[in-house]
């Protein structure tokens, strides 16, 4: 994105020129963790797109709300909560079609994405649908992994250690195998899977080495030893686990 900031989303384009799609990472939730580049793009945007979850308010939009111009066109993509892939894929199809209309009209589109667009980010589904027809630029963001580690005061890896990142919905047996073979572990998307994950970690004798983090960097964040974690966890929660003894010392 060498000259992206000189032709921000507010640029006027000749009708024959297609706009650029920007996938902009917003970080984990605290507005002051938005990068300077992302903030410049959002503030100048004429068209802003973002996901919403099952009709609820958009978390992505809430993070960037103070930067979005009052007269910006907004494209909300309502993604249903479902274990089936088809409804969500249909929502991204619809969102991509709306974004394409703006791009064809010569408008740049700033698509907001929590965390980093290419790290479990919803933007990757739009990228797959549009990158073969339009110029796309990705602005990386602070990931929830690094944010949680920072807020927990918990270095994750040092020297030649490996970091394993696992999604909480994995089957219990696979979680156990992956954790057993890892050095440091981050388990994301904890939510309703917390009892299963907690049981696996306890059975491996690693509870004392694990910390629970929920909504890190937000006013209602919770950072606790896993043993003290609540029975229910929000979707935006994770578990950090390091097996070594202070490897950074």
DSSP-H helix ranges across the chain: 36-44, 59-64, 85-104, 123-130, 144-152, 172-180, 194-203
Assigned fold of 4-139 = Cobalt-precorrin-4 Transmethylase; domain 1 (3.40.1010)
Q: Determine the Cα–Cα distance for residues 95 and 111; give it in Å rounded to an integer.
A: 10
**With contact defined as beta carbons under 8 Å apart, do 190 and 239 qualify?**
yes
Beta carbons of 103 and 21 less than 8 angstroms apart: yes
- CATH number for domain 144-242, candidates 3.30.950.10, 3.40.1390.20, 3.40.50.720, 3.20.20.370: 3.30.950.10
pTM of the predicted structure, to 2 decimals: 0.87
Domain ranges for the chain, please list them: 4-139, 144-242
* Degrees to nearest 5, angle at CA 89 with 108 and 26: 45
pLDDT tens for the chain, 249 residues: list them: 444 443 444 444 445 689 999 999 999 999 999 999 999 999 999 999 999 987 788 999 999 999 999 999 999 999 887 667 788 889 999 999 999 999 999 999 999 999 999 999 999 999 999 999 999 999 999 999 999 999 999 999 988 889 999 999 999 999 999 999 999 999 999 999 999 999 999 999 999 999 999 999 999 999 999 999 999 999 889 999 998 755 444
């Amino acid at each position: 994105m060498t000259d992206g900031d000189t032709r921000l989303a507010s640029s006027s384009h000749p009708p024959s020129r297609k706009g650029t799609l920007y996938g902009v990472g917003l970080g984990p939730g605290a507005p002051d963790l938005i990068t300077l580049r992302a903030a410049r793009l959002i503030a100048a945007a004429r068209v802003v797109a973002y996901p919403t979850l099952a009709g609820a308010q958009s978390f992505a939009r809430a993070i960037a709300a103070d930067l979005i111009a009052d007269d910006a066109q907004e494209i909300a993509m309502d993604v249903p909560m479902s274990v089936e892939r088809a409804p969500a894929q249909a929502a991204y199809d619809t969102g991509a079609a709306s974004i394409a209309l703006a791009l064809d009209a010569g408008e740049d589109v700033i698509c907001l994405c929590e965390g980093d667009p290419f790290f479990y980010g919803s933007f990757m589904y739009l990228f797959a649908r549009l990158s073969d027809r339009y110029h796309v630029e990705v602005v990386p963001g602070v990931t929830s992994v690094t944010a949680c580690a920072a807020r927990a005061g918990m270095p994750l890896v040092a020297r030649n250690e490996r970091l394993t990142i696992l999604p909480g919905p994995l089957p219990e047996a696979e979680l156990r195998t992956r954790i057993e073979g890892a050095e440091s572990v981050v388990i994301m998307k904890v939510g309703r899977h917390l009892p299963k994950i907690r049981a696996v970690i306890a059975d491996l004798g690693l509870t004392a080495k694990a910390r629970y983090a929920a909504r890190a960097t937000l006013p209602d964040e919770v950072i606790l030893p896993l043993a003290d974690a609540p029975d229910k966890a929000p979707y935006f929660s994770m578990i950090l686990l390091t097996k070594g003894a202070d490897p950074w010392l």
